[in-house]
């Protein structure tokens, strides 16, 4: 479904004649399909959509204060509307939006839709041309496209011009990883314990973390990868994601 979800987002952009991210107004896009947006107390859910015969209601957790995060939730719920014509979901959690519920295909597809809607391939390629990865670039993507840091990182890892990997770690384990197709290493399964030699590990050890760019041996992340190379160095930089209570690690080669 992921390719169809991406196609659904691109079709919606075309229907709304949106050729530039600066022209994307999610409220107007939603209204185009009679989807109305309101905020409220959703307790454990970040967002929810209730479909009607001719449209629907998208409700966003009023506790979400970050504009980029709020936008991603809205885009995610719009994705449910387009991806699942005959389903009416109850609500989406933070874990759904972070991709931590790996068995929920519908949530993954809604995330794919949202990423394409907010950060169309061509827009990302143009914005990131000739820039190297790192926290600054991910933050700039997030701010320019008004989306969450996490979605910006995933999008760059997927299609960025400079091969990179992003890893979300929670509870001392890898939640998931996204490795660019041209990144040297290819395998880092969910559930892998965080290696004590990674800078990410510092947070889980004592709550502190070096957020600078650091050189690190590939052993710290990819010792079990079949493409593992001894004495091979990577760049590692970490961002603490308060919304998810998790650490986002960005890895790239020189």
Distance CA 158, CA 219 (A): 23
Distance CA 143, CA 148 (A): 8
Distance CA 74, CA 30 (A): 9
Is the same domain home to 89 and 208? no
What percentage of the chain exceeds 90 in pLDDT? 78
Distance CA 172, CA 182 (A): 27
- At 102, the pLDDT band (50, 70, 90 cuts) reads low
Question: Could you tell me the pTM of the whole model?
Answer: 0.92
Answer yes or no: is pLDDT of 1 > 80. no
Answer yes or no: is pLDDT of 13 > 90. yes
Long-range contacts of 189-195 (CB under 8 A, 24+ apart): 190/102, 192/224, 194/169, 195/219, 195/220, 195/221, 195/223
Whole domain around residue 82: which residue ranges? 2-118
Looking up tokens 């670039």, which residue turns up? 137
CATH number, domain containing residue 71: 1.10.10.2910
Evaluate whether 228 touches 244 at the Cβ level (below 8 Å). Answer: no
Is the same domain home to 93 and 153? no
Is the same domain home to 113 and 126? no
Last residue of some domain: 98, 118, 138? 118
Is the same domain home to 136 and 245? yes
The tally of domains found in the chain comes to: 2
- At 91, the pLDDT band (50, 70, 90 cuts) reads confident
pLDDT of residue 101: 67
- Predicted confidence (pLDDT) per residue in 47-78, tens digit: 999 988 788 999 999 999 999 999 999 999 99
pLDDT of residue 85: 76
Query: Measuring CA to CA, how many Å separate 44 from each of 21, 50, 81, 93, 210?
Result: 30, 17, 21, 6, 31
Answer yes or no: is pLDDT of 131 > 80. yes
Answer yes or no: is pLDDT of 88 > 90. no
């Amino acid at each position: 479904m992921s390719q169809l979800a991406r196609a659904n987002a691109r079709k919606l952009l075309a229907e709304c004649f949106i050729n530039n991210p600066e022209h994307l107004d999610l409220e107007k896009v939603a209204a185009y399909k009679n989807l109305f947006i309101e905020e409220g107390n959703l307790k454990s859910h970040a967002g929810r959509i209730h479909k009607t015969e001719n449209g629907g209601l998208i409700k966003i957790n009023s506790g979400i204060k970050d504009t980029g995060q709020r936008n991603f939730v809205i885009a995610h719920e719009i994705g449910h509307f387009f991806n699942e014509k005959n389903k009416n979901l109850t609500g989406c959690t933070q874990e759904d939006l972070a991709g931590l519920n790996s068995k929920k295909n519908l949530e993954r597809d809604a995330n794919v839709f949202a990423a394409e809607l907010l950060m169309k391939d061509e827009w990302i390629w143009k914005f990131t041309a000739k820039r190297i990865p790192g926290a600054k670039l991910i933050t700039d993507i997030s701010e320019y496209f008004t989306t969450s840091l996490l979605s910006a990182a995933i999008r760059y890892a997927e299609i960025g011009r400079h091969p990179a990997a992003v890893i979300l770690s929670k509870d001392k384990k890898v939640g998931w990883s996204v490795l660019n197709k041209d990144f040297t290493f290819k395998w880092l399964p969910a559930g892998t314990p965080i290696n004590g030699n990674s800078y990410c590990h510092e947070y889980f050890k004592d709550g502190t973390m070096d957020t600078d760019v650091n050189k690190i041996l590939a052993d710290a992340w990819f010792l079990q990868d079949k493409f593992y190379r001894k004495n091979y160095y990577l760049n590692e930089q970490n961002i603490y994601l308060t919304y998810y209570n998790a650490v986002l690690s960005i890895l790239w080669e020189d």
